Structure 1
């Protein structure tokens, strides 16, 4: 059984865990930047649920933004990277698709930092 999901606790732990090791786009003034794929995968591995995606503009094209549905509720831990939240499409995704947007080393780094936070 997955641990109890407390969104406020998860967000606080993620803020302490995010770093340049979990995203090459990380910035101190916007720590969620570029963290969506690794974050969604870490939360999926710990809390289960579903991986979701929605298209967002990125460098002149549309790219997938990954987030979770945990205990029946959509949860975007990295929404703070945007000036305004995206229009969520709640499209189903897979771990393979999310991993294609990050690296296994970034996911492992975030998972270790999240557990330590």
Structure 2
């Protein structure tokens, strides 16, 4: 997917994303008390769709966590799922690896929800 910048910056996208996570955007059970829980891969893919840049990963006690690097800056729109600091390893990864954790259908639902929540 080519980058389709339609937000002024990742913070503007974050405000739409946090209203867009749902049970349809992840494979794990959706937690309304912590809606961004397990949404990191699909969120990193959505950020990449809108802003390009790199998809990064780090190991956490819960598994692999995905986030973005845009113009040299780290953007982690799903960081709120954690109750402790994230030990960022800043390992470059790929959309393919992120798709191992988020299906194309889940990404399409998230992108559609983001568009509806602008």
Whether TM exceeds 0.5 here: the answer is: yes
Equivalent residue in structure 2 for 1:9, among 7, 12, 32:
12
Equivalent residue in structure 1 for 2:23, among 20, 23, 37:
20
> How many positions carry a matched residue from both structures?
113
Q: Which portions of structure 1, spanning 4 or more consecutive aligned residues, are displaced by more than 2 angstroms?
A: 1-8
SS of equivalent residue, structure 2 residue 66:
strand
1-structure distance, mates of 2:29, 2:65: 14
Aligned CA RMSD, in angstroms, stands at 1.5
After the TM superposition, which residues 45-56 of structure 1 pair with which residues of structure 2 at under 5 Å, given as runs?
45-56=49-60
Per-residue deviation at 1:7?
A: 3.4
Query: Does residue 1:35 correspond to 2:39, yes or no?
Result: yes
1:100 paired residue number = 100
Question: In 2, are the aligned partners of 1:5 and 1:47 still within 8 Å (CA)?
Answer: no
SS of equivalent residue, structure 2 residue 23:
coil
Deviations 1:51-90 (A, max 9, x none): 00000122xxxx2110001122101100000001311010
Gaps of 5+ in 1: none
1-structure distance, mates of 2:64, 2:11: 25
1:76 paired residue number = 76
Moved more, 81-90 or 5-14: 5-14
1-structure distance, mates of 2:14, 2:5: 17
2-structure distance, mates of 1:26, 1:74: 26
Query: What's the TM-score once normalised by structure 2's chain length?
Result: 0.88
